[in-house]
Chain A
Amino acid sequence: MQTFRADLHIHTVLSPCGDMDMTPRNIVQLAKQRGMNIIGISDHNSTLQANLIKQLGEQENILALCGAEVTTKEEVHCLCFFDKDEELSSFQRFINERLSNIPNNVDYFGYQVVVNENNEILDEIGVLLTAAINASIEEIEAKVHKLNGIFIPAHINKSQNSLLSQLGFLPKGLNVDALELSRHIKVEDFIATNAYLSKYSFIQSSDAHFPDDIGKVYTEFYMEEPTFNELRMALRKENGRSIVGHNA
């Protein structure tokens, strides 16, 4: 087994707050330059840019996890990743049925576009993707796991849009594969004040919205090879796989 570097929280041009230079090609190139083996594509409430990045990543030997950073009804941000195309598209339908109808104000929030590999705009999303969808954190977690996915509440130590800010503590019975901390805290310092969470795996990621940030923060996974299933085993500390380091 060996160590692989993963930055599992990256936004693209599709997120309103994502820089227009966060194109699929740029993301893959920069992730490669910075030594990432695995990246997570996590736009707000949309998976529509992920598959192209997965394809471009394959050419560069980078595994791109396809998913989204979903905003739950309680306004908790959660990373949701899927292995197979049909699971991803099924989750996209789940989101579509529950999106708010708040229109995006481009001047205020920014563009929400889907582009192809030549950076040509294929689609522009009209509703504001950062708004909460009409599903509870429990409903979303259940759907992700029904689709064989990975569910990780995002930056749980942040004072906005986090599991802890919105809900106070990890709800009993919520089945998380891992928890994400922002770059602003060391994992051991967080656990020292949140001992009840010490049994979980923690990841740290860049939450990149600009090219400069890609790969600045990453998590080191000890496992056989960079695949979706190996990564899930590492998150769940199964079969000798585990997380062995954080660079924040």
Chain B
Amino acid sequence: MNVATIAEKLFLKVFGGNEGLTNEVSGGYTSDLLSDVMGHANAGDVWITLQTHKNIAAIASLKEVAAVILVKGFEPDTDTLAQANEEGIPLLGTTDETFEITGKLYRLLNG
């Protein structure tokens, strides 16, 4: 399943990084500690977080995650969005809380 399909099925807002919407998704990772994500997220994961700082775009690129989902209606900081666009990393958003969107993504990927 690719990012575009997930965005459509989970009603996610696409903030930017549209170039990466065709990225294939192999799993998910939920964490707000960027040090933890650097150590433990896998390439192809959709990363779910409440952090909006520009470092999320850099780490998403470094770890080659398929996309980032911001929870609870949070919007990316301006420089975060700029970097996601530059790197082609889809930056997505939901009004769901972390627990709910993680559950929905898990069901979609493993259902």
B-binding residues in A (CB < 8 A) = 74, 136-137, 159, 164-169, 171-172
Minimal beta-carbon separation of B7 from chain A (angstroms): 25
Pairs of residues from A and B, 6 with the lowest C-beta to C-beta distance, nearest first: A168-B34, A167-B55, A165-B35, A168-B38, A167-B34, A168-B35
- CB contacts (< 8 Å) of A171 on chain B: these are 53-55
Number of chain B residues close to chain A: CB under 8 A:
12
A-side binding surface: helix, strand, loop or mixed? loop
Q: Mark B29-42, 1 if CB is under 8 A from A, else 0.
A: 00001110110000
- A136→B54 CA distance, assembly (Å): 11
Closest to B83 in A: A172
Apart from A167-B34, A168-B37, what 7 extra A-B contacts exist at CB < 8 Å? A159-B35, A165-B35, A166-B34, A168-B34, A168-B58, A168-B59, A171-B53
Is A136 touching B59 in the complex (CB atoms < 8 A)? no
- CB contacts (< 8 Å) of A159 on chain B: these are 35
Tell me if B77 is interfacial: C-beta within 8 Å of chain A.
yes
- CB contacts (< 8 Å) of B34 on chain A: these are 165-168
- A160→B33 CA distance, assembly (Å): 9
Minimal beta-carbon separation of B64 from chain A (angstroms): 15
Minimal beta-carbon separation of A242 from chain B (angstroms): 29
- CB contacts (< 8 Å) of A167 on chain B: these are 34-35, 51, 53, 55
Is B54 touching A166 in the complex (CB atoms < 8 A)? no
Is A168 touching B77 in the complex (CB atoms < 8 A)? no
